[in-house]
Amino acid sequence: MAKIPARKQVNKKYTWNAESVFKSTKDWEAALKAAIDDIPNVKKFEGKLGTSPETLLEGIKAIEDISLRMQTIYMYAQFAYAVDTTNQAAAGMVGKAQGMAGQVAAAIAFLNPELLYIGREKLEGWMNGNDQLAVYRQSIDDLFRQQAHVRSTEVEEILGMTAEAFSGPSSSTSMLVNADFKFTPATDSKGKKIEVTQGNFYSTLLEHPDRKVRQSAFENYHDKHIEFKNTLATNLATSISANVFSMRARKFDTTLSASLFNNNVPEEVFHNLINTFQKKLPVWHRYFEIKRKALKLKDIQYFDIWAPIAKKRVPVSYEKAVDHISDSLAPLGKEYVEVMRQGCLKDRWVDSTVNLGKMNGAFSYGSPQTHPFIMMSYTDDIGSMSTLAHELGHSMHSYLSWKNQPFAYSGYSLFVAEVASNFNQAMMRGHLLKTIKDKNFLISLIEEAISGNFFRYFFQMPTLARFELETHQRAERGEPLTADAMQTLMADLFTEGFGPKVKIDRPRVGMVWSTFSHLFADYYVYQYATGISGAHALSARILRGEPNAAQDYLGFLKSGSSAYPLDVLNKAGVDLRTPQAVEETFAVMEGYIDRLEELIG
C-alpha cells in the first residue's frame, strides 16, 4: 500500500512560514492572553462614542486593533490544525481561539448600535471636519443601509456571543471527517490496495487512469459518510437552524435575502445564475457524452468525471508550475509577478506538502499582519498547478488589498473573492493554450479546466446552491431536515444535472452535500459560479488586449471592501447584475469542448 508521510516527515521548504507569525506556540498563547486581557480597554468606550469625534476615532482604533490581533491569533490556530488535523495540540488551540474570538465579538458589539444612535447627520458633520474619520464613510454608509437589521446594543452583544456556539456543528463535522474518518483502501484492477485520505481523494484517486481505483475510492469514501449520515445531517441541519435564527433575529424575510443583503447583492443575481445554469445544462450533457466516448465506456458515472483522457500523464513540478503561472500573469506587470514568485519560492506562503491528517481541499488564509498563506496538497500535475494558480489569485487579492486599504477595508467579500482566484486560472489557460504544443499537455489542461475547475464551479456549486436554497426554505417552513431527506434531494438534483446518459449511484451521490464544508457558510457556494463568470469576463478583456484592462483589474484587487462588491466589479469591467457574464462563461466552456474534440479526434 502506498504510504502517505506523517507531518513531521515532510520537507520544511514546502510548509507554511508559521514562525513568521509567531515564533512558537508559547508566543501564540501569550498573544491570545494579551488580547483577552485587553478587552476591558475596548469596553471602556461603550456608551461614550458619541461624546466627540475624537473619542469616536479613538474607540474605532481600539476596536480595529483588537480585531486585527484576534484575526491573526485565530488564523494561526486554524492553519496549524488544517495542515495536520491529527495534532491534538492544534485542535486545542482552535478551541481556545474560538473562545477568544467570541469574547472579542461580544466586546465590540456596541459599535454599530452606538453609531446608529449618534445619527447619520451628526456623523456626516464629524467626517466632513475630520479626515481620519472620513476614511470610514463607506462603512458608515453601509451601516445605515443595514439600519433596519441592526438591533439594540444588548441584543447585538448576545448575537455576538452566539458565534462560538454556532460554530459547533462546523467544528464537529470537520473533526469527524478530517481527523476521525478512516477510509477503507481503494483497490486497483490487480488487487493492489491504495490508501484513501482527504488529501488524495480528489487530487489523486478520482483522477486515476484505473477505473477500479476511481470506483472503489468513490464508493469507500462516500460509504464512510453514509455510515455517519445521521450525525452529518444533524450538524448541517443545526447550522441551517442557526441561519434561520439569525435571519429572524435581524428581521429578514428569508435566509437568502439576509445573506445577500450583507454584500448589497440583489436576489436576482442568485436566481439569474440558477436559471442560466439550468438553461445551459445541455452544454454539460454534451461534454459528459464526449467524455464517455473518449474513455470508451458503456456508461459514465460520477467518479469518471475526473478520469484522464490524455494517453500520458504530464508531470509538473511545483517550481515549474510557479514559472508557468508567472508567465501567464505577466500582463499584470513586473511587480505583481515578482511579489508572487517570492511568496512561492522564498517566503513560504504555500504549504504544499501531502501528509497524513492534512485537511481536504485548498484555501488561502492570512491577516494584514501576516503573509497570505496557502494550504493545499501539491501532487506534481496540471491539476495541482491550476489549484496553485487559483489560490495565488486569492493571496494576491489579499496582499494588494492589505497593502492599499486601511484596516476597515482590508478584507473583501466572498462574492468577489472567487473572481480573483478564477481569473488566474483563466489567464493561465489562455497563455498555455497558445504557447504549449504537447498534445497530452493540452488535453490534460483542457480536462483540468472542465472536469476540475468548471465541473466544481459551474456544475457542483450551482447544484449545491439549489440544495442549499431548498434546505433553508424547508427549515424556514419548520419542516424536518433528516439525513434521508437530504440524501434524496441531493440525488434528485444531480440526476437532473447529469442528464439521462450518466448513471447515478443515488445513495452515494446523494451524500455529496456532506463532503462540502462550504455549506456551513450560508449561501457561499453560489458565489463560486458568479466568481468564475466575473473572472472570465475580466480575463477576456486582457486576453483581447483591451486598453486599460490590466490596470482596471489591478484596481479591483486593490479595492478591498472600499465599495460594494457589484460596484467594484462594474468599475473593473463586468456587470454581474445581468446573466451576461454567466452566459459568456458557458461560451468559454463550449470553446474548450470544441478544442478537446479537435485534439482527441
Residues with a known catalytic role:
391
- Alpha-carbon dihedral sign for residues 186, 188, 194, 199: negative
What does the block give as the cell for 512? 455529496
What does the block give as the cell for 57? 476615532
* DSSP state letters, 366-398: --TTS--EEE----SSHHHHHHHHHHHHHHHHH
| Rounded CA separation 185/507 (Å) | 20
Pairing of strands 363-365, 502-503: unpaired
| Rounded CA separation 503/509 (Å) | 10
| Rounded CA separation 576/415 (Å) | 10
The residues near 547 (Cβ < 8 Å, ≥ 6 apart) are none
SS3 471: helix
* DSSP state letters, 137-170: HHHHHHHHHTGGG---HHHHHHHHHHHHHHTHHH
The residues near 542 (Cβ < 8 Å, ≥ 6 apart) are 331, 427, 549, 550, 553
SS3 300: strand
Q: Tell me the residue length of the chain.
A: 601
SS3 49: coil
Question: Long-range CB contacts (< 8 A, 24+ apart) of 197-201?
Answer: 197/4, 197/356, 197/358, 198/358, 198/359, 198/360, 198/361, 199/4, 199/354, 199/355, 199/356, 199/358, 199/359, 199/360, 199/377, 200/4, 200/354, 200/377, 200/379, 201/360
SS3 355: coil
| Rounded CA separation 419/427 (Å) | 12
| Rounded CA separation 76/67 (Å) | 14
| Rounded CA separation 395/343 (Å) | 9
Q: Cβ distance 200 to 4 under 8 Å?
A: yes
The letter for the amino acid at 314 is V
- Alpha-carbon dihedral sign for residues 499, 504, 510, 513: negative
SS3 119: coil
Q: Which has the closest alpha carbon to 172: 105, 249, 236?
A: 236
| Rounded CA separation 79/20 (Å) | 13
What does the block give as the cell for 103? 469574547
